[in-house]
Amino acid sequence: MNRKIYLILVMIIGFTFNVQADESNNLSPNKIEPGIYVFVSFSMNDQSLRNYFYEAQNLGGKLVMIGLSGDKNGRNRFGEMRARVEKAKINVDINPTLFEQLNIKQVPVIAVVSKTGSVKKVAGHISLKAALEIMQEERKPLNITK
C-alpha cells in the first residue's frame, strides 16, 4: 500500500492516539539508549508489524516486545516466536525492562528517548512518521543522537 494512502487511511479511520510528553520524569541517558522505539506485540496482525518494522528500519528505530509468545504449559515459546517473526518477516528486540522503564502498558506505542533522557510517547495505531510529526509539534525539540 502506498505510504501516503496508508497515512490518509489512518487519519480517516481515526485510530485513537495520545501524545504524552514525559519531560518531568527524565531518565538517565546511561539507562536507556536515545532513539526511536516502537513497542509491539504478536496480538497485532502481521501486516501492522511489517509496516512498523519497515518504517522503523527507514528511520533508525527498532521494534520492541515484552517477551516470548506462547503459553506456559511446556510449549516451545521461543520456537513459536521465531516462527511468527519469520512469517511476519520482521526483527524485534525482547526487552521487558524497557517496557517497565518507559511505563508501557499497551501496544502499539511509539517512544522517542532524547540524549538528555526525556521521553515522548504516542499510543495507538498510527504510522511512525505521523507519530514523529506529532511529537515534533511539541514545544521542546527532539535531540536524538545515534
* Residue numbers of the domain that contains 98: 3-136
Has residue 22 been placed in a domain? yes
What is the model's pLDDT at position 79?
76
* SS3 label, residue 101: helix
- Decide if 21 is inside a domain: yes
Domain count, the chain: 1
Handedness of CA 110, 114, 116, 118 (dihedral sign): negative
pTM of the prediction?
A: 0.71
**Residue 45 dihedral angles phi and psi, to the nearest 5°:** -75, 160
What pLDDT does residue 15 have?
A: 34
Q: What is the mean pLDDT of residues 125-143?
A: 79
The answer to whether residue 39 sits within a structural domain is: yes
Tell me whether residue 49 is in a domain. yes
Q: Is residue 144 part of a domain?
A: no
CATH number at residue 18: 3.40.30
Q: What is the pLDDT of residues 72-119, one digit of tens each?
A: 665 667 777 788 888 888 889 999 999 999 999 999 999 999 998 899
Determine, yes or no, domain membership for 142.
no
